[in-house]
Amino acid sequence: MAASSSLRLGVLYPREMNLYGDRGNVLALVRRAALRGVELEVMTLGLDGGPPQEIEACSGFLIGGGQDLDQLALAHDLVARKGPALREAVSGGAPLLAVCAGYQLLGKHYRTATGDLIPGLGILPLRTEAGPRRLVGNILVAANPGLGLSNPLLVGFENHSGRTMLEPGLQPLGEVVRGEGNDGDSGAEGAILGSVIGTYLHGPLLPKNPALADWWLFAAADRTGTTLDRSHLDDSAEEAARREAIQITLRGSRARGYRLLGRRARIRRTG
Amino acid sequence: MSWADPRTRLALLAGKVTAWASRGLRMGGGTTLPGDVARAIDPRVLRKLAASPRRGTVLVTGTNGKTTTAALLRRMATAAGWRTGGNQSGSNLIYGLTAAAIAHADLRGRMDVDWLVLEVDELSALAAARELRPEILVVLNAFRDQLDRSFEVDQVAARLGEAVAALPETAVAVLNSDDPRIAALDGAARTSLFGIEDREADRGGLPESADRPVCPRCGTSLHFDAVYYGQCGDYRCPACGWSRPSPAMRVIRVIGAGLEHVELTLAGPGGGVGPVEVPLAGAHNAANVAAAAAAALEMGADWDQIEHGLQQFRPAFGRSQVVRWRQRQVRLLLAKNPAGMQASLEAVLGGDAGPVLGLALNDGIADGTDISWIWDVEFEKLATVGPRWIVLSGRRAAELALRLRYAGLAASRLLVRPAPEEALDELAERAAPGTAAPALLTYTAMLAWHRTVVGAGGAKPFWTEG
């Protein structure tokens, strides 16, 4: 593709998959692209839209989190209608960042608590099953060095009942430093395969992890042959928010306190 | 009858002694601990108190507006000549309701109260409906709130539906027509609806923070012809034709003139009220007024009494409460979730907000430890209009600052002051004389600011138009 000064972000199902401030990720990409001298055009690939030619025109993709109800409605559209073009784009190097329910939908299937099987796109060789309790809280992840992030400590919040099992050979996005990750047990968080990243760090993941936003932008630029300023940006506001989040996450007693104090604390909460 | 049961009498006695002791010892648990103790002795104690109010019990539930609506309703009931009791402390789980009921009862379980008007947490509404067998259950709305507690908004609505379905045959459910998830709750023997019908108050589309509702009949995304707050408005299903049911109690005119009051006109069965000024901000509070009026009519109040109650109303703690700090005034507005923050922000921008605005975000358990929701609030408007300075406070002040930078605000407008004193100082210094600088706060931030104001030498809280 010829060099150009713009990139196009395809946001999959923004209406349905925007449970926890996923919009923050779009804002982060748009802002950082602008700071790097590139206009990022945002394209909505919704339930009623996103024909193959629109998907082909995108430099990369985001898919966010949603309720289980939404997933059922979306899975069919994702697999049957958008699947082939999306698969083609990511095999050509287009970055795809999938968060929470979006991550689960990229796997082979999601088995709900009621036993329903939601088929996934199968881009990532993994399976997810609903677990007995939700995995909730602040999370710190040491990102896979293979990603080459300028700052490999990822900061976020997770909230999922799904337990995701990676098939042998599939690399996790990183190792859990604090928190639960894919299954609360293995110490693995997320998955990475080529230009596809799936993660349970939900909602506004990119504002507080500008290195990961840059990963997406650089991959999108590489794929489309777009020239983009790759120098270091002033991330002082981002760093301040990261420090705040890291400090709070490292106060480890909070996770245990949450379960003990949960009921009593709700009493003080009023409408 | 059951009062012969020594266990129940012991539970009442123990509850009262606990309340007395915890007040005396300033343990701060006086609003819920008596309920824990009494229920440990007799788990059926609340059921046994259910018949004690002379006329009955009203429960008010929903994500936002419970405290305000219950307070409005108590004012209307008082104006109608009834004695009321409630859980004004805000302890709204089953233990808090039990403590409140015990506080109003004597040792034989008798109450000198005509109506118990209790706010109840959405997830406790079913237990409360079963145990208290209320005459009226008011369901205000279902918004995204504290999702780190694992409940998604459709699940909350489903739980509210179970509470409605558990009502006694003679009870009435007072439901919000404008919130599709609430309007669709059809499990009660009798339903009374309230809602807003003023197209001039249409904010023009759903806010980013709204949970886009689907048709309860066929699952298609609903189409909105008007939106007043959150996902509340006039809606219809483009596929199957299901649409907002017409409410009997209607807000036919609502004018939000900043933060000091909302002016509204109500029309309903056999009459109406207004235009009347109520010291609350925003269209969402007009809906709370309509909810209270609908419930008051069901209780047997008349329109004059409803109007009189509205005139007597003063906002509850932290709901548009004005406090003094260093000879200046600060208006505290609780904003505990995206719908509440969005509505309060729009109220700030709808009036003459003054030169400075405070925002405080905590991530305590009572706030919800997940603060992702601030990315759904439309702070972008602040980039072009509104106060010159924004003071950011709380445990996650830096996250708020990052959010506002991404909303397009210049760093020079943002003042990060995590501690309440520093933030209050900054607001007081920059507030215009004679006006109250607004501050939107999450729940524990509100408590912290309030404590700070009360604790500072000479600074005393007072009620708006106190």
Flag whether A137 is in a domain: yes
Give the pLDDT band of residue B368 (cuts 50, 70, 90): confident
Q: Is the pLDDT of residue A269 over 60?
A: no
Amino acid B77 reads A
| CB spacing of A254 vs B369 below 8 angstroms | yes
| A28 CB within 8 Å of a chain B CB | yes
DSSP-derived letter for residue A3 is -
Q: At what angle do helices B33-41 and B94-104 cross, to 10 degrees?
A: 90
At residue B343 the predicted structure's pLDDT band, cuts being 50, 70 and 90, is confident
Q: Cα–Cα distance between B182 and A46 in angstroms, integer?
A: 26
Residue B136 has φ and ψ, to the nearest 5°, of -140, 135
Q: How far is B32 from chain A (nearest CA, A)?
A: 7
pLDDT of B462 higher than 50: no
Q: Which of B154, B208, B401 sits opposite A69 (nearest CB)?
A: B154
User: Amino acid letter at B36?
Assistant: D
Amino acid at B111: M
Between B212 and A143, name the one with better pLDDT: A143
Count of domains forming chain A:
1
- For the residues of A193-239, what is the DSSP string, one character each? ETTEEEES--SSTTTT-HHHHHHHHHHHHHHHT-----SPP--HHHH
Q: Which of A247-256, B269-278, B359-368 has the lowest mean pLDDT?
A: A247-256
- Single out the residue of B49, B267, B295 nearest to residue B172, CA to CA: B295
Strands B56-61 and B136-139: parallel
Mean pLDDT of A76-94: 93
Expressed as residue numbers, the domain containing A132 is 6-267
- CB–CB of B285/B262 below 8 Å? yes
Q: What is the mean pLDDT of residues B213-226?
A: 90
- Examine the residue annotation and report whether A202 is marked as an active-site residue of this protein: yes
Nearest to A42 by CA among A33, A93, A235: A33
Helix (H) or strand (E) holding B463: none
For B146, phi then psi, to 5°, come to 50, 55
Task: Decide if pLDDT at B2 tops 80.
Answer: no
A75's tokens: 């899975």
**Tens of pLDDT, residues B387-424:** 999 999 999 999 999 999 999 999 999 999 999 999 99
The pLDDT score that the predictor gives to residue B299 is 97
Q: What is the token pair recorded at B334? A: 């609780």
> Phi-psi region for residue A249, left (φ > 0), alpha (ψ -120 to 50) or beta?
alpha
Q: How far is B196 from chain A (nearest CA, A)?
A: 20
Residue A202 lies in a domain: yes
Which of the pair, B393 or B31, is modelled with greater confidence? B393
DSSP codes of every residue in B328-372: EEEEEEE--SHHHHHHHHHHHHHS---SEEEEE---STTT-S--G
Long-range pairs of B105-109 with CB within 8 A, sequence gap ≥ 24: B105/B12, B105/B49, B105/B52, B107/B9, B107/B12, B107/B13, B107/B16, B108/B3, B108/B9, B109/B3, B109/B8, B109/B9, B109/B12, B109/B48, B109/B49, B109/B52
B302 within 8 A of B434, measured Cβ to Cβ = no
Of A16, A20, A69, the CB nearest to B370: A20
Report yes or no: B365 and A262 within 8 Å, Cβ to Cβ: yes
Among residues A58, A100, A109, A232, the one annotated as catalytic is: A100
Q: Is residue A1 part of a domain?
A: no
Residue percentage of chain B with pLDDT more than 70: 94
CB atoms within 10 A of CB B199: 11
The model's pLDDT over B256-271, given as tens digits with 9 standing for 90+, comes to 767 888 899 999 999 9
> Who among B64, B93, B150 is closest to A136 (CB)?
B150
CB atoms B150 and A23 under 8 Å: no
Task: State how far the alpha carbon of B351 is from the alpha carbons of B148, B193, B257, B417, B438, in Å.
Answer: 34, 30, 6, 25, 11
Question: Are B67 and B11 in contact, with CB atoms under 8 Å apart?
Answer: no
By three-state DSSP, how is residue B217 classified?
Answer: coil
Tokens of B201: 């108050």
| Residue A69 confidence (pLDDT) | 56
Cβ pair B152:A19 closer than 8 A: yes
List of domains in chain B: 2-312 (3.40.1190.10), 319-455 (3.90.190.20)
Tell me how far apart the alpha carbons of residues B321 and B260 are, in angstroms, rounded to a whole number.
Answer: 10
- A135 lies in some domain: yes
Contact B209, B373 (CB under 8 A): yes
Nearest to B363 among A69, A207, A248 (CB): A248
Instruction: Give contacts of A269 with chain B, Cβ < 8 Å.
Output: 90, 92, 121, 146, 336, 366, 443
pLDDT-wise least confident of B19-28, B100-109, B202-211, B398-407: B19-28
At A70 the pLDDT is: 60
Q: Dihedrals φ, ψ of A249, to 5°?
A: -65, -35
CA nearest to A189, candidates A209, A203, A206, A170: A170
Check whether A263 has a pLDDT greater than 50. no
Nearest Cα neighbor of A27 from A150, A245, A207 is A207
With CB atoms and an 8 Å threshold, state whether A237 touches B92.
no
Residue pair B372/A202 in contact (Cβ under 8 Å)? The answer is: yes
CATH of the domain at A45: 3.40.50.880
Contact B375 A161 (CB under 8 A): no
B443-457: per-residue pLDDT in tens?
899 999 988 998 875
- Answer whether residue A208 is part of any domain: yes
- Chain B closest-CA separation from residue A1 CA (Å): 31
Q: How far apart are the first and last CA of chain B?
A: 46
Q: What pLDDT sits at residue A71?
A: 67
The CA distance from B139 to B136, in Å, is 10
Rounded distance, CA B341 to CA B159, Å? 24
Q: Is residue B319 over pLDDT 80?
A: no
Separation CA B146–CA B155 (nearest Å): 13
pLDDT at B464: 30
Residues 6+ apart with CB under 8 A from B24: none
- Spatial neighbors of A148 by CB under 8 A, at least 6 apart, are A215
Q: Is the pLDDT of residue B36 over 80?
A: yes
Chain A residues 68-87 with CB within 8 Å of chain B: 68-69, 73
Residue A29 to residues A38, A86, A192, B13, B462: CA-CA distances in angstroms?
A: 10, 20, 19, 62, 46
Residue A270 pLDDT > 60: no
CA–CA separation, B338 vs B367, rounded Å? Answer: 12
**DSSP classification of residue B221:** B
Taking only the tens place, the pLDDT of each residue in A88-115 is 999 999 999 999 999 999 999 999 888 8
Closest CA to B254 of B279, B275, B229, B233: B275
Query: Closest-CA residue in chain B for A47?
Result: B221
Burial code (b: 16+ CB inside 10 Å, e: under 16) for B103-112 equals: bbbeeebebe
Test the B interface: residue of A47, A200, A247, A270 with most B CBs within 10 Å: A270
Nearest CA-CA partner of A161 in A129, A188, A186? A129
* Burial (CB count within 10 angstroms: exposed 0-12, middle 13-18, buried 19+), residue A56: middle
Any B CB within 8 A of A271 CB: yes
Q: Do B121 and A73 touch (CB under 8 A)?
A: no
Model confidence at B174: pLDDT above 80: yes
* Residue B28 binned pLDDT confidence (cut-offs 50, 70, 90): low
Cβ–Cβ < 8 Å for B427, B356: yes
On whether the CB atoms of residues B369 and B395 are closer than 8 A, the answer is no
Q: Which of A58, A76, A109, A202 is catalytic?
A: A202
Return d(Cα B374, Cα B255) in angstroms, integer. Answer: 27
Nearest to B208 among A20, A23, A243 (CB): A23
pLDDT in the model for residue B259: 80
- Average the pLDDT over A214-227 and give the result: 96
Q: Facing residues of A12 across strands?
A: A45, A63
For residue A177, pLDDT over 70 is answered with yes
Name the residue with tokens 């677990």.
A131
This model of the complex carries an ipTM of 0.90
* Paired tokens of B191: 């339903």
Which of B63, B67, B118, B370 is the mutation pick for testing A, counting most A CBs within 10 A? B370
DSSP conformational letter for B322: E
DSSP string, A19-85: SSSTHHHHHHHHHHHHHTT-EEEEEEE-TT---HHHHHT-SEEEE----HHHHHHHHHIIIIIIHHH
pLDDT of the residue at A61: 97
Please answer yes or no on whether A268 and B366 come within 8 Å at the CB atom: yes
Q: What confidence category does residue A261 fall into, taking pLDDT thresholds of 50, 70 and 90?
A: very low
pLDDT tens digits, residue range B96-144?
999 999 999 999 999 999 999 999 999 999 999 999 999 999 999 998 8
Residues A8-56 pLDDT 10s: 999 999 877 777 788 999 999 999 999 999 999 999 998 878 788 999 9
Which one is predicted more confidently, B300 or A116? Answer: B300
